[in-house]
């Protein structure tokens, strides 16, 4: 799309030898990430690539998200380790057959 401009899903499908329904799914994902835009033309919907700056922004946002998760990881691990260390007196038991149907009264 960067080289050829706006194209229909059918044209993209033919150029890439991919089924048109799969092309629509891919275009939807790219559109959600602001990497593709949609334009209603005389012959229907056409798709085009957004600027390369959008891709740079997407990568920068993902990098920021990873840094934030890395910073939070030690605290999460501390919380999880305290949960593991706790002694739980409850347990779950599963019974099958007639033993599982009796109430224990008799």
Domain spans, the chain: 9-50, 51-85
pLDDT of residue 104: 54
Q: What is the pTM of this model?
A: 0.61
What b/e sequence results for 20-47 when a residue is b if at least 16 CB atoms lie within 10 Å of its CB, and e otherwise? eeebeeebeebeeeebbbeeeeeeeebb
Instruction: Flag whether pLDDT at 44 surpasses 70.
Output: yes
Report the C-alpha gap between 46 and 40 in whole angstroms: 6
pLDDT digits over 69-101, tens only? 999 999 999 988 888 766 666 777 777 777 666
**Confidence grade of residue 43 (pLDDT, cut at 50, 70, 90):** confident
């Amino acid at each position: 799309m960067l080289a050829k401009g706006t194209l229909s899903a059918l044209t993209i499908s033919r150029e890439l030898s991919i089924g048109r329904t799969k092309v629509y799914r891919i275009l939807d994902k790219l559109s959600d990430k602001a990497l593709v835009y949609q334009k209603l033309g005389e012959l229907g919907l056409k798709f085009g690539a957004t600027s390369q700056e959008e891709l740079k922004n997407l990568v920068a946002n993902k990098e920021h998200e990873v840094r934030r998760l890395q910073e939070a990881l030690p605290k999460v691990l501390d919380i999880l380790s305290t949960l593991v260390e706790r002694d739980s007196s409850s347990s779950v038991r599963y019974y099958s057959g007639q033993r599982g149907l009796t109430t224990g009264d008799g």
